[in-house]
Amino acid sequence: MPPAATPELLAAEPGGPKHHWSLDVAFPVYAMAFIDDETIVLGGGGGSSRTGVKNRLSMHKIDLEKRQFHLKTEYDLSKTEDAPMTIVVLPETKSLVAGINSDAQTLARGKNENLRVFTYSDKEIIYQKRKQILRSTSEDHYQKVTAFARTKPYLHMIALGSTDSQFSVLTFPELQEVLPTIEYDGDEMFDVDFHDDATMVLGASANKLCIWPTQVPEDKFEPLSALQVIERPTVAPHSSCTFRAAKFGRKLTKDHIYTIVNSTPKVRSRKPGKNDKKSFVSVWDAKEWKLKRTRTVSMKPITAFDISSDGTMLAYGSSDLSVGVLDAQTLRPIVTILSAHGFPVTSLQFSPSGHLVVSGSADNSVRIIHVPPRDKRGTEGRGWKMGLVWTLVVLGLAIWVQGVWFGQGVREEEGRGRGAAVGM
């Protein structure tokens, strides 16, 4: 039986909130990338296992008014290879790069052509080439994160990190080394990102965040040194903390670094507390390398993170199944969607304008979230607070009325009791 095709039309169920809605895309979503505000590419599938779910890259047009996705084109990947676990696009050259492990037989021969390059148009996604970047040929390791430099004339650089501790910076489209391959002490890489001016690139593993120059020393015998190494912070007492994501700010916030830290109890307990796995967002000064502030984001670990292209908002997905958007300056919540997915978020992204956040999950769903315009965020926040105040006022009045009624009833009973006693 052939694998199910991606539906030509995906529509949200009638009713429900208008500012966010969910779609069943019929395959596990592990990666995504916006091409423009109305076009998104989703990557995922059943991997090399015989699930009957094909591996694919699917391009969809977003219809916000009708709450629909229209399939524009799709590229079917090999059913014997892994599903795409990371996707980035470079609209200037209409290029798409994905991390896809080779099939088991190729891995057994000591080869893993993990880096795949495609081009795209409105009508098709076209395969161009592949190259082995990862040294590991284990099925358990894969290219986890990928990022393009964002600023001209430095669009020719791409960074990638793997689950087997490898951090690479390459030229694009030549795919030649810019920096020597860097190993992160055996730790899984969780994020890579370029500074706006592309003079720096960061790589984050669970235990450390390193900022590297994008130019090697002129002396070839001089070892490459990190500009700064930030060890995992201690943000919660009695907890062990690890990095989960890190991004440079953008534009107005370009001199900041935003990190996500997840905490776990240092000592195992038979009855762990419900708040023992908090997650935090921190802001660092990217010039003086000092921690500026930290705020609790969720009572559960964060699984995905992104920053808007203008640097004013942060988005996250939590293992409590929620998706949220924060103000990048104040770290205050802008939007929080509870129970956004059935499984934790695997990927999420802002649209180029920042008006949308789309999140994906292994539960075969994506959720589209409208982000309120900047001039309405404060109003919505005040409205929510006033709603809470009125709720408390009404609740207080109800308790007061109940107390008055109950007190009056008690007095009447006492009066009848005294009258009966006098009659005796």
Domain ranges for the chain, please list them: 9-378, 379-415
| Local structure of 91: helix, strand or coil | coil
pLDDT at residue 265, as a whole number: 80
Tally Cβ neighbours within 10 Å of residue 260: 26
pLDDT at 204 over 60: yes
For residue 40, what are its two tokens? Answer: 């998104």
Which run of H or E residues covers position 410? helix 374-423
Closest CA to 208 of 224, 187, 192: 187
Residue 419's pLDDT is 43
The answer to whether domain 9-378 has CATH 2.130.10.10 is yes
The beta strand positions in 64-213, using DSSP E, are 68-76, 86-90, 95-99, 115-120, 125-131, 143-148, 157-162, 166-171, 182-183, 189-194, 200-205, 208-213
Residue 423 gets which letter from DSSP? H
Burial class (CB in 10 A: 0-12, 13-18, 19+), 73: middle
Average pLDDT, the chain: 88
Q: What is the pLDDT of residue 404?
A: 52
307 against 49, higher pLDDT: 307
What contacts 387, CB < 8 A, 6 or more positions away? none
Between the two ends of the chain, the Cα-to-Cα distance in Å is 93
Q: From edge to edge, which strands make up the β-sheet containing 228-231? A: 189-194, 200-205, 208-213, 228-231
Please give the model's pTM, rounded to 2 decimal places.
0.86
In this predicted structure, the answer to whether residue 207 has a pLDDT above a threshold of 80 is yes
Determine whether 281 is exposed, middle or buried from the number of CB atoms within 10 Å of its CB (0-12, 13-18, 19+). Answer: buried
Query: Which residues in 222-377 belong to E strands, given as ranges?
Result: 228-231, 239-248, 256-265, 279-285, 291-298, 302-307, 313-318, 323-327, 333-337, 345-350, 356-361, 365-370
- Residue 245, C-beta contacts closer than 8 angstroms, at least 6 positions apart: 190, 191, 204, 259, 260, 302, 304, 305
Q: What pLDDT is attached to residue 337?
A: 98
| pLDDT for residue 24 is more than 60 | yes
Contact 240, 204 (CB under 8 A): no
Length reported for the chain:
424
pLDDT of residue 374: 83
d(CA 250, CA 351): 14
